[in-house]
Structure formats: C-alpha cells, structure tokens
Structure 1
Amino acid sequence: MKKYKVILLLVITSILLNSCSEDKMDDINKNVNNPTDVPTRFSITDAMTSTTFGNIGSDLSFYTGIYVELNAGGSGQMYNAETRNGEPISQTTYNNSWNSQYQTMYNLKLIIEKCTTGEEKGNYATLGIAQVLYAYNLALLTDMYGDVPFSEAFQPGVVFQPKLDRQEDLYKIVFATLEDAIVNLGKTSTYASLGTQDLIYQGNKTKWIKAANGLLARYTLRLSFRQPDYTKVLSYVSKSFTSKDEEFKMKNDGIPNPYYQLDNERGYLFASKSLFDKLNARANDPRADGYFEKIQKSTGAPFTYEFFINGVSPQSQNYSYSALINKANPIFMLSYHELLFIKAEAEARNSVAVISTASLTAAVNAAFNKDEVINFSSTNAAGYVAGLGITTNAALLKEIAVQKYLSFYENECVEAYNDYRRLLAMYGSVAAHPIQLENPLNIDKFPLRLTYGNSDVSANKNVKAAFGDGTYVYKENVWWAGGTR
C-alpha cells in the first residue's frame, strides 16, 4: 500500500506542477529527483482505486441504496435523504462524487492519449484497460445525472463552461469505447504486463475482455426501453464471465470497504423494513435472517430485529444493521450474479414462450454464493425457485427483477437504482412495477436522478440552467428511462 501512496503523491505533484502558468517558476521549482511524468502502469492503479472506492463504492451507493430501499437512512445526512429533507435536491449532496468522477475520467483520458499517440504508443494492454474504465465511468456519470458536460470537458484553461451532451450520444461513446477496448486487449504488445499494478485482474487481459463484454451486455439491456436488442445482450453474455472468480470487482487490503467505514465511523445506514418484507414474503429465503444483525435495545433486553420503517421511523441509531459488513468485502463493478440475471431477463424477454426457470435458478444460486463474508451456499437454489410457483412468462420476468434486486444488497445499490428506473419505464407505472417500494414519500418524491455537483452548478451557466431549483430530480427521467435529458 505504501507503494500506491507514493504513486498518488507523484500524480498529485504532476498535476500541481503542470497547472503553473509561468515557465520560469516551473524551472525554478523543478526537482530532477521527483519525476512529474508518471508511467501509465502507476497512474492506472490510481484510476482503478478512484473508480471503485471513490466513485461506485461510496456516496453514490449509499444514497441510491436509500432511494431503492436496500438500506434505510437512520441518522445524519442519510436520514435527510430518507425523509427527502433537502438532500435529494441539493447541489452539494453529490458534489464530492461529481468531482471524483470527472477527475478519474480526466486521468484515464491522459492514459489513453499517452498509449495512443504519446510516449507509450503501442501499450495496448494498458490502453484497453483504461478504455474499459473510461467507458464504465462515463456510463456511471450519465446514468446518475443524465445529460452532462463531456465533449467540451477535460480542457482546463481552454473551455471554462462546457455544454451538456445528450445521454443518447454519450451511450454511443460508451459502446464504441468498450468495443475498442476489446480490440486493443486482443493485440500483442512489447510492454510488460501490469501484474500487481492491476488491482482488479493482475494483468489478465482475457478477464478484462470478459468484463468489457459483460458491461456491453448490461448497457445493451439498460437501453431496452429505448432500443431493445435481447439477442445482442445474450451474445455479449456468452463472451463474459463463467464463474464468480472472473467478475469485475476489486479488493484493496490497504483501504477498508466504504460500507464498513461508514458504519464504523458514523453509523448512518440501517436495516430496511421494505427489504425485509420482500425477503420474508418468500418462503425459506435464508437472507431474511442472514442479511441483518439483531440488536439489544437496552441492557438485559433480548436481542431482536429492529427494522427502520422506510420514510417513517424517527432518527436514531438504535436499529438493526447489515450482517454483511466487513472491511475486506469487495466492491463490485459487475458481479457474476448480475450477469446471470441479465441473461435470464434477456431470454425471457426474447420470447413470451419462455417459462423455464433454469436461468433464474442459476442466477439465484450465484447470488446465494456471492463473494462476501456471509453466503448461503448450503441453500438449495433449485428448490427455492421451484417453491416460488412461476408458471407464466410475465411472472418469470417479475421474479427475475425482484431476485436481481435482492441480490444487490448491500453494496451494488447503484445498479439496483438503475434497474428500478429502467423497469419503471418498461412497466409504465409504479403500481405495475415488480419491486414495490414502501416509503410513503415516494408518491411525489422518488429521485429519478441525482443532482449535478455544486462545483459546476455554481461555475457553469449551462449546468446551472439545467439544475434550476433542483426539483427536476422528482419530475424528469433520464433519457434511457423515457425522459428527454
């Protein structure tokens, strides 16, 4: 970990030195023993860490998990999000994530340029990996905020108020970048493998290609309301993971899982009554007990479950919490169980004649065996699914949606949020939605997107105009969910 801290310091030093405007001062301050041009094998490590621990794994996951009721916000700012008190419409709520996402993409852009036309031209492996991460971060950015600055962004000192690009156009870039990544990862390079600098796959290009195909499957399904193509989804799935050992995730022994950090330092997230009700409604679901910790409300009292009633319970830290929390838990960018649920849905949507539960069973089995501290590997997934009594294609599709949602607890909340919004567009109404949320405030205050970050709302007239008073988050879907921006 000390090595990565040194690398990060080098990156920061490089940014600071390159931002100086006077050539003379640059020469005076130059330290020949402290290089300012960091090789991509080091900067790509920092980009992996910021993507996982900084972007997908913390604030975005905490807030979206509350909105889709995988978690409940019982205290502090998470309680404000739970009760829709300022947080969902404030321009400051997601500002740290907003800035981190843009900084990560800027760093990846520099890596891509260096490996394409710069001094590391021909470094195809690092180029392909950077492109996968770039596409992933771009999709995350537009999934959360809709139309965002992109084509005129990443030009410090040149364009000060970049325009917003349409989500439809940004998704075309996501797909093209992933396809380019697959091509580059298949090329032979004279550059050494990243090895341990690659904190995700240790330089295994085959696994990176599988991750890229898995992301293509996810994003193709994401567009199913606008541009359904389930045959293409299945084609991508067939070229992706074959076990959880290949899934797109990251552990870093030097950095605790963000959920562990939040619980350990602040204690803001608690067990959602809404989630428990869905588990409890399914006979013999082991997660109804296994997902949560019993608590003792007072000395001498018995240990019991105390669930937070979504949107209703008072602010307190005296509720049950996740039983899955552990500092060593991975951060998932695309899990094996998600991929199998994508496959199951694509098959069922491809033909109304499909009523087989074989693919659903495989996905549920993978969910029972997800790579976290507690698993349910002894549970008979086939018997569990058979007990659900699925006999029609419509019932199969609804149960796939619910089981996928249940599998995302606790730190895949962003994808649960994306899926909920996609399905809301496809089913046409809250009443018809397979996942019934219980927070009464959702009648008119379900956040359909996240607000732009304060850094740009206050400095970019284009973002400021799109932000307005922030209440648009309750009214306007993103493009792929039926909106216009």
Structure 2
Amino acid sequence: MKKYKVILLLVIASISLNSCSEDKMDDINKNVNNPTDVPTRFAITDAMTSTAFSNTGSDLSFYTGIYVELNAGAAPGQMYNAETRNGEPTSQTTYNNRWNTQYQTLYNLKLIIDKCTIGGEKGNYTTLGIAQVLYAYNLALLTDMYGDVPFTEAFQPGVIFQPKLDRQEDLYKIIFATLEDAIVNLGKTSTYPVLGNQDLIYQGNKAKWIKAANGLLARYTLRLSFKTPDYAKVLTYVSKSFTSKSDEFKMKNDGIPNPYYQLDNVRGYLFASKSLFDKLNARTDDPRATGYFTKIQKSTGAPYTYEFFINGVSPQSQNYSYSALINKSNPIFMLSYHELLFIKAEAEARNSASVTSTTSLASAVNAAFNKDEAINFSGTNAISYVAGLNITTNDGLLKEIAVQKYLSFYENESVEAYNDYRRLLAMYGSAAAHPIQLANPLNTDKFPLRLTYGNSDVSTNNNVKVAFGDGTYVYTQNVWWAGGTR
C-alpha cells in the first residue's frame, strides 16, 4: 500500500510541474530577499540613513574634529595617531570605509534619480527632488574632503574600470545645478504617494526640503568666497531657507545611536581639547567653557576636576575629560539653523565693509545656545553675551563670527568646522592671520589640508594612484576652493 502512495505522489508532483508556466518558474527562481527592482520609497530611506550616519556623522567627523581641535585624540589607537600625525593623515586606508560608503550612497541615489526621470517611476517628482538634494549634498561632501575625485566616469561597473578624476571646480557646477533642479522638481505636483514616515528627515514635507536646498546653496556659495565671492546671492538663498531649528536638515533615528555616542561607548577615543576650552574660556561668562565638558576623577578618592588634553602634546591616555554633550539620541546635523544664521551674518558683513552691527551675530549665537542636543545653554542671554565681546569694527565682527561659528559646531558638525577653517585659511592668507588659532605644534608643517583617497581606488585605479603618490600631498595641496589646483 505504501508503494502505491509514493507513486501517486510522484504523479501529482509531475502534473504540478508540467502545469507551471515559464513565467511561474521565473518567479520561483527569484530570491525575494534580494530584489533587483526596489521601489524608490524604500531606497530613499536607506540613502538618508547612510548619508547621515555613515557619511556625515562618523569617521569623517571624528578625524576632522581632531584636525580643527574641537576634539582631541587622546587614547591609544587611530585617533591618537591622527592627533600626533603618525601615519593616519597620509594613509590610503584611513578613510577607506567612508570613501566606499560615500560612493555607494551616490550610486544608490543615482539609481533613484534615473528611475524617477527615465525609469519605472517617471513623474515621481517629490522623491526625485529629495534624491537630488541628497545627491548634491553627498557630492559636495565627497569633493570637499578629497578634492578632485572620480565622478562623471564612475558608477559604470563593467564598462569603465579606471574612471578619470573630475576637477572640483566642475563638480561644484554639478552641485549647484542639481540643487536648482531639485527645487524645481519639489515644486511640481506628483501623483505618487507621499513618503510620510519613510522620509526620516522631513516626513515628506516638500516645503522643508526646498528650504534645505536653498540653505545648501547658501553654504556652497559662501564656500566659494575665496574663488568667486557673491555675498548678495548667499543672502538671497538664506532668505528662502530655515526660519527656525524645526526646519533643520538633520536626522535622528531612535533605532541607531548617534555615532559619537557609539564611539565613546565602544572605544573612548575622543577627549576634551584644551585648544577649544581656551577659546571658550577667553570669552567672559561663556557657559560652554565648562558646560561642554565632563569632570573626571583621576584616581579613587580624588576630587572630580576638568582635565584637558594639550593638543599634539599630552601623552596618550583615557584619563582626560570628555564631552558632556554625548547622547545616543543627539541628531546628526547636515545643515543646522545656527550654521545658516552664521552664514547670513558673515555674508552681511562681507557684503559691506560698513557693517558693524552685531544683531545677526547675536541671533546666530542664540540659535547655537539653543541647539537641539542633550545639553543646551538657553539660559544665557545671547544679546548681552555678544555685547560683552566689544565688537566695534567690521574686521572684528568678521573674526568673531568665524570663531563663534566654530564654537557652535562642537561636536557633531566637525566636517563643516574643517571646511570653514580651510576656506578662511585661504581668505586670510596664513595660519597666523586666521581668526581661529589652532594649538597643535605639529600644524607648522603637518596640518591636513584634505583627506587621502581610499585604498579601494588607490590600489585599482591608476588615475587615483598617481594623484595619491605617497600620501604626503595632504600637507601641501589645498583643494581648489581653498586656492589649490586639485
């Protein structure tokens, strides 16, 4: 009896297989866990997350924060090597993880843009506009860090194996054009469903994305002020951008802790910079002079005190004060309200040498005191604080704007502090004349003017390999917008 049951089952199986169509067999052979055609509403969420957590808020921020002394790399390992310029700033492996994620994010965003323009979601203008904002932002982040990079010939796997490097000047033209296109597309009507909570930044609010695009245009126009100053245009973009910190281009994800929090918990690499403390302490009644930092107990029974790492000098140890701002829920700022107001204040002061009013500076400082982090300093009267700085000249105003903007960037906005420092280094002509005085004595001949290309391309693309050389170019070659040639 058992024999006949087996035969019957085989016959049924045979009939079932013969009745399957070719299309059905194709469906059976698909791996549902590895789809080849992902709806853009899912892909854009992933692109937002990688933009914030992998590209903006992680290694690039950690390293650049050390270079401009918002933090000190005190503990043994990579960050101390960066602090003491021991290999890390010139190695092709230092930033390789971020080099790869930056290109992967750009590639994914390109796929979204293509799908919403010539592909299966043609006419999905909202997602297209959002993707273009993120694309321009990530491209700017890429070229700001590395200078000339492969781009127009990149993203063609199996076609072009060694893409050429594109000039930063040309890449900035693409950045501006992409943001302008994004604003146009975000203003169009789309029949596709709104992203809602799949938009982790603005929950599908097109008006806020347009404000973010204008804010980025203001930032990047000011970025080019050494090459092609246009402060009136900066102010025009600012007028179309954020009106409060609720508009900020930032991201927090309850499921992913802030990268600074993760680094502190896992490795404890970053500590309190004496250079930063000294700048705060030099300003009367600045609440951040102590509020930014945590006291420590150096030994059992000893009093709790502030212990600052002397940049480039102190011995490696974890026995230093650290950030009081660290919190797993802190946002990652891609463009903050306080940065926008500092951009406005600088553009006003540079647009007319007669400007000495501190009104815009006070507004920016007030926004910085009230920024969205675990600790803010909302109890301080920004108008009184700025008045106490006794600014009477346009030059004095510009210098204090630069310093206050720098102070406001602690600790999650190190990349922009680094970009600003390099821009102003070009504009003021020397480190000695710079409004922000860095303390690391190694900066005499070893201040990293850029980051090295990633090993993934140095080892496979001869164009990148030649540009990399032995890596020491980072100490001598400015990026284009800071007066360099590449």
Q: How high is the TM-score relative to the length of structure 1?
A: 0.94
Give the Cα separation in 1 of the matches to 2:65 and 2:289.
18
* Residues 286-325 of structure 1 aligned to structure 2 (within 5 Å): 286-325=287-326
Task: Describe the superposition over 1:296-330 as per-residue Cα deviations: whole angstroms up to 9, x where unpaired.
Answer: 00000000000000000001001000000000000
Tell me, yes or no, if structure 1 residue 63 matches structure 2 residue 63: yes
- SS of match in other structure, 2:406: helix
Give the Cα separation in 2 of the matches to 1:383 and 1:34.
59
- SS of match in other structure, 1:127: helix
Give the drift of 1:423: 0.1
Give the drift of 1:256: 0.2
Change in CA separation of 1:314 and 1:29 when aligned onto 2, cut-off 3 Å: farther
Task: Describe the superposition over 1:420-443 as per-residue Cα deviations: whole angstroms up to 9, x where unpaired.
Answer: 000000000111000000000000
Give the Cα separation in 1 of the matches to 2:263 and 2:35.
36
- SS of match in other structure, 1:333: strand
Change in CA separation of 1:39 and 1:285 when aligned onto 2, cut-off 3 Å: same
Equivalent residues, number: 461
Partner of 2:411: 410
Partner of 1:9: none
Give the drift of 1:279: 0.1
Partner of 2:468: 467
- Bigger drift between 29-38 and 59-68 goes to 29-38
* Residues 211-230 of structure 1 aligned to structure 2 (within 5 Å): 211-230=212-231
Give the drift of 1:35: 3.7
Give the Cα separation in 2 of the matches to 1:306 and 1:28.
63
Give the Cα separation in 1 of the matches to 2:379 and 2:474.
42
Partner of 2:358: 357
Give the Cα separation in 1 of the matches to 2:332 and 2:78.
23
Tell me, yes or no, if structure 1 residue 344 matches structure 2 residue 374: no
Give the Cα separation in 1 of the matches to 2:31 and 2:271.
50
Partner of 1:119: 120
Change in CA separation of 1:298 and 1:109 when aligned onto 2, cut-off 3 Å: same
Give the Cα separation in 2 of the matches to 1:33 and 1:252.
24
Partner of 1:331: 332
Give the drift of 1:33: 8.0
Give the Cα separation in 2 of the matches to 1:34 and 1:266.
34
Give the Cα separation in 1 of the matches to 2:199 and 2:283.
41
Give the Cα separation in 2 of the matches to 1:225 and 1:31.
53
Task: Describe the superposition over 1:87-134 as per-residue Cα deviations: whole angstroms up to 9, x where unpaired.
Answer: 000000000000000000000000000000000000000000000000
* Residues 199-210 of structure 1 aligned to structure 2 (within 5 Å): 199-210=200-211
Calculate percent identity across the aligned residue pairs.
Answer: 88
Change in CA separation of 1:190 and 1:327 when aligned onto 2, cut-off 3 Å: same
Structure 1: segments with no counterpart, 5+ residues: 1-25
Tell me which structure has the larger Cα radius of gyration: 2
- SS of match in other structure, 2:333: strand
Give the Cα separation in 2 of the matches to 1:33 and 1:344.
51
Task: Describe the superposition over 1:232-269 as per-residue Cα deviations: whole angstroms up to 9, x where unpaired.
Answer: 00000000000000000000000000000000000000
Give the drift of 1:37: 1.1
Give the drift of 1:63: 0.1
- Which structure 1 residue ranges, 4+ long, deviate > 6 Å from structure 2? none
Give the Cα separation in 2 of the matches to 1:246 and 1:298.
45
* Residues 163-242 of structure 1 aligned to structure 2 (within 5 Å): 163-242=164-243
- SS of match in other structure, 2:448: coil
Q: State the one-letter code of the partner of 2:403.
A: V
RMSD between aligned residues: 1.2
Partner of 2:44: 44
Partner of 2:439: 438
- SS of match in other structure, 2:334: strand
Q: State the one-letter code of the partner of 1:417.
A: Y
Give the Cα separation in 2 of the matches to 1:309 and 1:435.
16
